[in-house]
Structure 1
């Protein structure tokens, strides 16, 4: 191409008619506007779906982490429930001994051994976050106590007056409710 041809082409490109023609060619028509609007809606919907998917993924991850933490914290729950009957039987054995039997020199080493075993068992419970539920003298709490019977009493109705079986918690979870008798109006 020669310089003259280049000048002619440059002059053609800058004429107002050529500029208007190019503007008309790039201006979207009504059909193209509809298509652009649809694409914009689809893009917005996809962005919203992406946000929901990210939030759901984060919730699933958090839930999984919580389940793993709970599994570690409460892994021994079944074992703890099973061992509670051993603690109950040991307590019953000690409660069944009279003062005379405890004073008997032949049985005294057995009593001392039973008491030491009970102390050790309670120490193990404490180290593992297992605590006994307080009951006597407190109002009935259905989340921690199971009322087995009502006894006429001068105490406020609904107050626990007798504990038939101790209840236990493991950290913040109920292992076993305390089985109790509550006062009823005389």
Structure 2
């Protein structure tokens, strides 16, 4: 017998006393640990998925911000384009060809700058009224066009990339009386 061991040893022929049940069995402890591990793995996977979704959303927001950052500037330039068009429309048909040619060249350059920056004019004339692109200002009775068709454009509409920058102000045909 070991000097440090003070527990009595069972005598020969005596059965050892069964250990007292002091808590969950080893199998129960392992099952509880496995369940905890599974829960932690699930939480980790969910956190990783949420992080990835957040990253993707931030990348999408960043791309939108870059694409549409110049919206205010573009709106301001639309007034310039409108004034150039009004000047061209007001010129007499005879004379001042040099001035007219200069204004037309300026307008072409402005339209080219718009195009390089994703700003495009909405084609309205002859199209069916689309409230997503057009704003009806007048209804004109006519037999020349189907009701609901744009017959005149009062002010051009524009888009920037895939978003409406300004709707086209239009006159729309209605049935002749």
TM-score computed with the length of structure 1 as normaliser? 0.74
C-alpha distance in 2 between matches for 1:113 and 1:125:
18
Partner in structure 2 of residue 145 of structure 1: 134
Relative to 1, partners in 2 of residues 1:80 and 1:34: Cα closer, same or farther, differing over 3 Å?
same
Partner in structure 2 of residue 88 of structure 1: 82
Relative to 1, partners in 2 of residues 1:48 and 1:109: Cα closer, same or farther, differing over 3 Å?
same
How far the C-alpha of 1:57 sits from its partner, in A, is: 0.6
CA RMSD of aligned residues (A): 2.5
Q: Does 1:173 align with 2:163?
A: yes
Partner in structure 2 of residue 135 of structure 1: 124
C-alpha distance in 1 between matches for 2:68 and 2:146:
37
C-alpha distance in 1 between matches for 2:91 and 2:37:
80
The answer to which structure has the higher helix fraction is 1
Q: Secondary structure at the match of 1:157?
A: coil
Gaps of 5+ in 2: 1-15
Gaps of 5+ in 1: 1-20
Relative to 1, partners in 2 of residues 1:37 and 1:116: Cα closer, same or farther, differing over 3 Å?
same
Q: Does 1:110 align with 2:104?
A: no
Q: Secondary structure at the match of 1:164?
A: strand
TM-score computed with the length of structure 2 as normaliser? 0.77
Partner in structure 1 of residue 7 of structure 2: none
